[in-house]
Homo-oligomer: A and B are copies of this chain.
């Protein structure tokens, strides 16, 4: 309860501390989230992705400025380690240099991508719950669009915003990563640079070809110049219109169910692994891996043996 009471009052320090505990997978955090959870579900979550260098952070900075004029409170979760908004965990102090750092109503937090240790989606969605409980109206989850887990997170948002810029050739990468097809709104940043209108035309053509339409929503393509604070209002309107579409079409419920399901699977992932590694008192996996290395069994047979043991184990 200790944290929850403070967090729902908007206590930034308590929220920051709780998010750290979540990142560290501290059992206390899990318990606290139990108390916190009933206070969540109000915030609107926007997943923002785009390749490095497209000006994602600058655009978010500009978008935040717009939302603040509407007196909306904002939470930002940056998974992109290169994020200029947070400066990344290793440059945490840079946060002071940021435009909204002094603004009580803008809570910016970066999460370290901890490589193979996993738990990133779990931490990101946990942090979103915390900011939600704080009463943030809008939560922006920012990530670079090149990792499976990172894409999971952005897709699990209410609205997925894809930021591109001319000449960066992101289209290929984004299409291959399956991001383009799940973008609800696309921002072409650096719209004043060469190739911007060409990129817009290409994307419009793809959109006509339905190559990446999600449901009957036709993703708007907004031209922005974040460095000059141009396009933020239009972008915000596009995001709002998608939110309205989801609410009226009922898609919002499904999106959120997807998100809860992702979080649920993430939460049990570690337990499942522990369960598997404890089979035969921890000897089964060792034995199978040893057999694989010696070429005595095939990966498929090893996998089958584990599944059989899981299915047939007694309580």
Q: A150-B146, A264-B285, A271-B307 are in contact. Are A81 and B173 (CB under 8 A)?
A: yes
Distance to closest chain B CB from A137 (angstroms): 19
Q: A257-288 vs B: 1/0 string, CB under 8 Å? A: 10011011101100111011000000001001
Count the A residues whose beta carbon is within 8 Å of the partner chain — how many? 78
Answer whether A257 and B289 are a contact pair too, CB < 8 Å, given A82-B172, A178-B116: yes
**Complex: chain B residue closest to A38, CB-CB:** B295
Of B91, B117, B264, B303, which contacts A292 at CB under 8 A? B264
Give chain B nearest CB distance to A40 CB in angstroms: 8
Does the CB pair A115–B155 fall under 8 Å?
Answer: yes
- Which of A12-20, A29-37, A241-249 forms part of the interface with chain B? A29-37
The interface bits of chain A over 39-72 (1 if a CB of B lies within 8 angstroms of the residue's CB, else 0) are 0110000000001100000000000000000000
Q: Which of B34, B41, B113, B114 contacts A146 (CB 8 A)?
A: B113
Contact assessment for A117 and B37 in the assembled complex, using a CB-CB cutoff below 8 Å: no
| Complex contacts, A33 vs chain B, CB 8 Å | 298-300
